[in-house]
Structure 1
Amino acid sequence: AEGAITLYTSIAEKDLKPLIEPFEKKYGVKVSTWRASGDSVMNRTLNETKAKRYNVDVVHAGTVELEVLHREKMLQAVASPHFADLMPGSVPNHKEYATTIYSMWVQAYNTGNVKKTDLPKTYQDLLDPKWKGRLGYEVENIDWFVTVVQSMGEAKGLQFFRELASTNGVSVRKGHTNLTNMVAAGEVPMALTVYNYMPEQLKKKGAPIDWTVLQPAVVRGNAVGVMKNAKNPAAAALFMDYLLGEGQQAYADLEYLPANTKIPSTLRNYKMLVVDPEESLDRRDKWRKLYDDIIMRGAK
């Protein structure tokens, strides 16, 4: 009997309990977790698997990281009755992972520093001189940059970011939670790229922070996959199925956008662009160079 599984995940530590406990109670399967950034989860999984140390059963991280594991032939295809209920594009053709939640990048602002009436309504509004020296950006958000550039048309999009960097500048910070806290503290008046649930959770605690969404909003998927060499494949597949079905309400309660369309969410009202993990990987070098030249070089 498979009474335990090991999960490597990038989900915030504090959000793991409400997700995992109901599963453990219902199915009697203990879930051991190791939590780190998506990159670290991917690298540890790659390194251990290449060394034939099969410690991990289930990986839950960004779709880009899961696509890398797929390309390295480390995942196994899984069938779930919930696939049919997920938002379009949530399950790739190879069926080796499935998106559980979408994180929406939003613009968080300090309510003491920024008036609601001054908020940007379009991306172009960010070029207004009133934003000079007031915009923050998370260092790893290359996928947001790529998706916005493509939505404007590549030449126009790159021109927009060059202008933004040279006229108003962006202050680049490490860590979404860190950047959100800096907005709440007033050190960064407005952050361009934090995940929707972060300012929302702080706002509920009474912090002077709120958020707005420039549309189309950019969302990136977090996905779950079962390892090809999982020691507990049946329990792992059960857990994956749970995350796509029963577990979806717990995600919604934590302010994430659930991939399962049966779960209501106010976030579904926004026009959305989904980060394409394959584009992101296939042209990684090209985009990284543009990103470094425009955003990092223009960083204040």
Structure 2
Amino acid sequence: MSRNMIRFFLALVGAALTFAAVPLRAQMPAWEQQLYEAAKKEKQFTVYTAHYNTEEAASLCTAFEKKYAGIKCNFVRTTAQVALQRFQQDLQANVAVASVFSSTDVSHYPDLKKKGLLLQYRPNNLPKMVDSLKQYNDAENYYSVTAAALMLITYNNSLVSEKDAPKNWPDLLHPKWKGKVSIGHPAFSGYVGTWVVQMRKLYGWDYFEKLEKNQPQIGRSVNDTVTMLNAKERWVAAGPEATTLLSRDKGNPLSVIYPTDGALLMVSPSAVPKNAPSPNAGKLFIEFLLDKEAAETQVKSHSLSVIKGIKPGPGAKPLEEVKIVRPTEDEITKGIPEVKEKFRDTFGV
């Protein structure tokens, strides 16, 4: 091979490598390129999240780092109330840790916004969001929905047949489920707090007085119900669709029922704290959560896609085929503090 041919071949290889190294950036719109460059200077960021289980949070961080090389994604996964407590403790200590605050309890956000603790930011990817979810975004752009999921009836199918499984929420009150029901706690879980508010709205507090007679096993996180069903400590539960189906994927004998009186729609916002140490990375992560890569990662874990055009994971129904119920933001904001105390009084925990 002549020197000219060698030079030509090396030039082609160099061009190919250069092209391969920057295709993502070349495809980025100007706003994304600008945000990416600013975020790279911050190098890393931390997310306080109650949206996902640990495995899904780790998968999302990995997908983010793959898309946005040079930025390290860290996460602290807790229940919603613990995430808020941790954030408040950081503020009291004058320490800035979280660059994204993501809670399953929407009642956290109006108060944080009122106190001036959130950064106003309208995501550029907002038009990609499923239209029915846009109503739950903050009108003044201090927080946006970045995760959605369902809470429904779950059961261990090695102990309960589909025919005998509860079909609606009042079915959990039947005496045959005494000592066999699992639920979470509204003082820890945003999912459970919202569910308790909705059940009170539909059936009054009498619902929980009757449920107490069935001696439910009460965990903290809504995901604790999955552990209890797998251990056969309980047979049926008010539990999460996503974590239950994810556990089923691993070979556990779990199934879900979409209640005839409505599965609870959970929408979980994210916001950038005003004192975020990496505000640009925080904004970029929220943009990522409203884009294809994150949605595809989420549906693999059976969470609902918050953006258009992504099919649900296997075993899950499309959202448009499910009867859903959800309290208003005002009902959640006012109701969760109320039901926490009533719940403790009723169940003694």
TM-score normalised over the length of structure 2? 0.76
Given candidates 79, 89, 109, the residue that maps to 1:37 is 79
Quote the Cα distance in structure 1 between the aligned partners of 2:204 and 2:108. Answer: 25
RMSD after superposition: 2.2
Quote the Cα distance in structure 1 between the aligned partners of 2:205 and 2:271. Answer: 34
Secondary structure at the counterpart of residue 248 of structure 2: helix
Residue 40 of structure 1 deviates from its aligned partner by 2.0
Q: Which residue of 1 aligns with 2:324?
A: 272
Quote the Cα distance in structure 2 between the aligned partners of 1:4 and 1:285. Answer: 35
Superposed, which structure 2 residues align to 1:281-296 within 5 Å? 281-294=333-346, 296=347
Q: Which residue of 1 aligns with 2:119?
A: 76
Is the contact between residue 154 and residue 255 of structure 2 (CA under 8 Å) also seen in structure 1?
yes
Residue 241 of structure 1 deviates from its aligned partner by 0.7
Superposed, which structure 2 residues align to 1:127-206 within 5 Å? 127-140=173-186, 141-150=192-201, 152=202, 156-166=203-213, 168-192=214-238, 194-206=239-251
Quote the Cα distance in structure 2 between the aligned partners of 1:22 and 1:127. Answer: 42
Is the contact between residue 67 and residue 278 of structure 1 (CA under 8 Å) also seen in structure 2?
no
Secondary structure at the counterpart of residue 125 of structure 2: helix
Q: Which residue of 2 aligns with 1:252?
A: 299
Secondary structure at the counterpart of residue 117 of structure 1: coil
Given candidates 8, 14, 21, the residue that maps to 2:62 is 21
Secondary structure at the counterpart of residue 257 of structure 1: coil
Quote the Cα distance in structure 1 between the aligned partners of 2:108 and 2:139. Answer: 16
Quote the Cα distance in structure 1 between the aligned partners of 2:74 and 2:318. Answer: 31
Q: Greater relative contact order (Cα 8 A, min sep 6): structure 1 or 2?
A: 1
Where does the alignment leave 5 or more consecutive residues of structure 2 unmatched?
1-40, 187-191
Q: Which residue of 1 aligns with 2:255?
A: 210
TM-score normalised over the length of structure 1? 0.87
CA offsets per residue over residues 227-252 of structure 1, 9 Å max, x none? 11223222221111111123222111
Amino acid at match of 1:4: Q
CA offsets per residue over residues 204-262 of structure 1, 9 Å max, x none? 12112212121311122222111112232222211111111232221111110122233
Secondary structure at the counterpart of residue 100 of structure 1: strand
Residue 275 of structure 1 deviates from its aligned partner by 4.4
Given candidates 119, 126, 133, the residue that maps to 2:165 is 119
Quote the Cα distance in structure 2 between the aligned partners of 1:126 and 1:60. Answer: 31
Quote the Cα distance in structure 2 between the aligned partners of 1:60 and 1:189. Answer: 31
Check 1:284–1:177 CA distance in 2 against 1; reply closer, same or farther (3 A cut): closer
Secondary structure at the counterpart of residue 269 of structure 2: strand
Pairing 1:2–2:42 present: yes
More strand by share: 1
Misfit runs of 4+, over 4 Å: none
Is the contact between residue 100 and residue 248 of structure 1 (CA under 8 Å) also seen in structure 2?
no
Identity %: 21
Secondary structure at the counterpart of residue 85 of structure 2: helix
Is the contact between residue 243 and residue 301 of structure 2 (CA under 8 Å) also seen in structure 1?
no
CA offsets per residue over residues 10-33 of structure 1, 9 Å max, x none? 232211232122222222222122
Is the contact between residue 138 and residue 172 of structure 1 (CA under 8 Å) also seen in structure 2?
yes
Amino acid at match of 1:6: T
Quote the Cα distance in structure 1 between the aligned partners of 2:337 and 2:268. Answer: 22
Where does the alignment leave 5 or more consecutive residues of structure 1 unmatched?
none
Amino acid at match of 1:262: G
Check 1:148–1:82 CA distance in 2 against 1; reply closer, same or farther (3 A cut): farther
Amino acid at match of 2:43: G
Secondary structure at the counterpart of residue 103 of structure 1: strand
